[in-house]
Structure 1
Amino acid sequence: MPQCDMGRRSQPFGLWAFGHCVAWAGSRSPLPGGPSIRYIAPAPKQIHEIKDFLLTARRKDARSVKIKRSKDVVKFKVRCSKYLYTLCVFDSEKADKLKQSLPPGLSVQEI
């Protein structure tokens, strides 16, 4: 199978994929007979330590924190300029303490 050298082009905040390659044949073209172009967002990053998450939340480019609670796990998601960072906490008491220790200027949204 032939490889296409123009299949991917790195951008500052993600990836642009061109539809004229075999790998992207499933996407539709906006123009008849032309290649389709679609944006692929960068994958989120997982943080495993609470201390690292708090340092990330205190960064200048951190915009907001979303807290998603389920039966077994509490997920903290901090949106920075380039990536979405996620921390999974399995202890609800630790999750409550972490919520209280988030920076005061950061918008916190519970989902």
Structure 2
Amino acid sequence: MLTTIIGNTFADERGTLSFNNELDLSEVKRIYFIENADLSIQRAWQGHQIEKRWFIAVKGKFLIKLVKIDNFECPSGGLEVRSFELDSKTLDALLVEAGYASSI
């Protein structure tokens, strides 16, 4: 299952506050920040059979593509690819349940 958890922003004369009040990170065990040296670099098709993953853009935006793997030993060709764009301005989060491979 894929769930987008919508964030929001508030701006006034002091600046901008980005927030996501619906995002529950109580199950998170570790966190990684990815920053590519070159925008043409693609980190493709890392998959997890057991772990959930949350994706959030903390600076700028990125495109993530996801595939639900039908068999981790021998995946079928032509599996549906779903694309999501995450933007740090809105602090939207994408919850990816176990069983998906990602390409960022």
Task: Indicate the structure with greater strand content.
Answer: 2
- The structure that is helix-richer by fraction is 1
Q: TM-score range by the shorter chain?
A: under 0.3
Structure with larger Rg? 1
TM-score by length of 1: 0.24
